[in-house]
Amino acid sequence: MNASKSGYNRFLLLVAGLGGLLFGIDVGIISGALPYLEATSGLNANNLSFVAAAVLLGSTFSTLFAGALADWLGRRTMLVVSGALFVVSVPVIALSHSYNGLVLGRVLQGASGGMIGVVVPLYLAECLTASHRGRGTGIFQWLLTLGFVVAALIGFYFSGRVEEVAKLGDAEKLFAVKDAAWRGIFWVSLPPGILFVLGALKVAESPRWLFRRGKKEAARAALLRSRSENQAEIELREMEEIAATEKSRATAGHKKESLWQRKYILPFALACIILACNQATGVNSIIIYNTTIFLQSGFNDHQAHLGNFFFTVTNFLATIGAIVLVDRKGRKFLLSLGSAGVIVSLLCVGTMFHKTEARRVDVKDALQTLVISSNQTVAVNMDSAATRKLLLGDGTLASPGLTQEPKNLVVIYSYGDFKAASKVIRSDETNGSLTISRDSCVPATKVAAFFKNPFASLAAARTAPLKIEHAILTPVPDSSHGWLTALFLYLFMASFAVGPGVCVWLALSELMPTRIRSNGMSVALLINHCISTTIAAVFLPTVGQYGYSVMFFLFAGCTVIYFITAVFFLPETKGKTLEEIEEYFEGKRR
């Protein structure tokens, strides 16, 4: 292969990798921005959860149509569209001064990520040879993890600026710098999106898509950009043979082959289970809320952003190992090893949080007495005096040391049938205050009310009194507890990166037969994103009421299903062509 063709192949992988970079930024950027958005936006925990989860909601809808659009418009066109959506989303978010603007921008980012998640692996599967398919998809995942590193570096940089201003003790300046920080975090993510769009305009269309559209000469030209003339002719001849076989089958049977056959149902079901379990590990929510998790484990703000940076670096480095091993050890081995490590690490993290959360105190009765009857609101300034007052007022002074150590407070409250969770505030934070009002819980419109609780009465909620369901005070451990928790989270990320992180994309593109690959990938990823969106949306309210330990133990339980599927049901696809994998599910053996 001459230098120009080798150079084009590297360029193709670079552009595809930039798609992974954008996907990583899509998911990871909110982690560094969320603490500052929480501090300056006035949004409650439910609204913040939805802003964080909106990227996953957008990807859910775009994933549903991405396969069909890729079949209609082409793989390359959809690469350009997905990059353009990301570029547009950045100013929408960074210039936003409203909840709706934030949600819109995040939905656009999600739509971009959903398309990238379908089209890039599909494009690589159709453009790369069997011997390079694992490595090529691994590079996509590798640069996806680099997206997390970039997002964490951006967040870490701005956390340093925030820490400098925090030392001044000026609440007004601190508010201003936090507001500028989350906007700046999103602005800095713009250049990779522009580079991806420019790169996508330069790559060739998928030769297999061109051939299926009847553009044989264009398919040959696309193949010749990355292969020798002899290799291109061989692959073109294989495409013609497959097309002739499909045509003869259709002519003999007078109708299209039924999709309700073993060779279609089994790989589709297996891919769906793997993708569903992939999200049920909690990986996206742990990445999105990583900085917040570190804050609650005992870190201060700067340490949390530093811990988040190391977390993303662990992901990045472990993915390199996965790229080296995936075409040597195989997909089945790495998935089994990785899911086992995920189970162990999640159980350890859950145990660490359980030790602290066992000392949680519910001071709902004391906080209920502070509710202002005229407008049914309550305000709390989270300092040592206010904390002691809540503890004494509730008659639940749990331990002699509890009033001396830092604590965080989260409130679960309701107006009528609508329930919400407050943001988490810490007693050792500057300007650690909380105000609960009807606007933070009750939807403004009937449409929003329907999606929040279709069985609730909006009219009744607009006049209902404020009820404090729970007011959870939890001691915040010291930084040594935080670093030990962080080590287990790094083990989680390394285990995920080595196994599920890379292999899930291969399972998605390799297991699906040619006839259903694009639409099958869309449906499987739709299930993936629905689960991810649901977990992200309920994460903050759930940990507010039940604690982080419950969430981590649930994630560990779901990963057990993943491990069983990988060990007992997943076939090894290492070194096999797409046609050989398809024959396996037909029950044939070569």
Tokens of 28: 């990871």
- Among residues 85, 109, 110, 105, which one has the least CA distance to residue 93? 105
Q: Mean pLDDT, to the nearest integer, of 195-216?
A: 86
Please tell me the predicted confidence (pLDDT) of residue 276.
Answer: 82
pLDDT of amino acid 403: 54
The more confidently predicted of residues 245 and 334 is 334
The pair of three-digit structure tokens given for residue 519, joined into one six-digit string: 């639409």
What's the rounded mean pLDDT across residues 327-353? Answer: 88
Residues contacting 537, CB < 8 A, separation 6+: 49, 50, 53
Angstrom distance (rounded) from CA 222 to CA 39 = 51
pLDDT, averaged across the chain = 79
Comparing CA positions, the residue from 248, 281, 147 lying closest to residue 563 is 281
DSSP string, 311-330: HHHHHHHHHHHHHHHHTTT-
What is the model's pLDDT at position 347? Answer: 95
Q: Could you write out the DSSP letters of every residue in 433-480?
A: EEEE-GGGTS-SSHHHHHHH-TTS-HHHHTTPPEEEEEEEEEE---HH
- Residue type at 558? C
pLDDT tens profile 110-166: 888 888 878 887 787 777 665 566 666 677 777 777 777 777 778 778 888 888 888
Q: Quick one: pLDDT at residue 370?
A: 86
- What are 31-82's pLDDT values in tens digits? 778 878 878 887 766 677 678 777 767 877 787 788 788 888 888 899 999 9
Q: What is the pLDDT of residue 542?
A: 78
Contacts for 94 with CB less than 8 Å, ≥ 6 apart: 105, 183, 184, 186, 187
Report how far residue 302's alpha carbon sits from residue 179's, in angstroms, rounded to the nearest whole number.
16
What are 341-363's pLDDT values in tens digits?
A: 999 999 999 999 888 877 778 88
Q: Select from 494, 139, 496, 512 the least CA-distant residue to 327.
A: 139
Confidence of residue 398 (pLDDT cuts 50, 70, 90): very low
Instruction: Give the pLDDT confidence of 167-184 residue by residue, as tens digits.
Output: 887 888 888 888 888 888
Separation of alpha carbons 187 and 172, rounded Å: 23
- On the question of pLDDT at 256 being above 60, the answer is no
Show the DSSP H helices in 458-547 as ranges: 458-461, 479-496, 502-511, 517-546
255: tokens are 């109708």
Amino acid at 294: F
- Whose tokens are 């692959």? That residue is 235
Measured CA to CA, the distance from residue 551 to residue 531 in angstroms comes to 14
Let me know the angle formed at the C-alpha of 121 by 115 and 124, rounded to the nearest 5 degrees: 125
Q: Distance between CA 49 and CA 421 in Å, rounded?
A: 10
CA dist., res. 484 & res. 351, Å (int): 11
> By percentage, how much of the chain surpasses pLDDT 70?
80
Neighbours of 65 (CB within 10 A): 17
Q: C-alpha angle 212/137/307, rounded to 5°?
A: 145
Instruction: Name every residue whose Cβ is closer than 8 Å to that of residue 36 and which is 6 or more positions away in sequence.
Output: 158, 162, 178, 179, 181, 182, 185
Q: Which helix (H) or strand (E) holds 579?
A: helix 578-586
**The predicted structure's pLDDT at residue 490:** 94
Residue 88: the pLDDT is 94
pLDDT of residue 215: 87
Quote the CA–CA distance of 92 and 86 in Å, as a whole number. 10
- What per-residue confidence (pLDDT) applies to 246? 63
pLDDT of residue 448: 65
Instruction: Choose the most confident range, by mean pLDDT, from 327-336, 480-489, 520-529.
Output: 480-489
Q: Which contiguous run of DSSP H or E holds residue 419?
A: strand 418-421
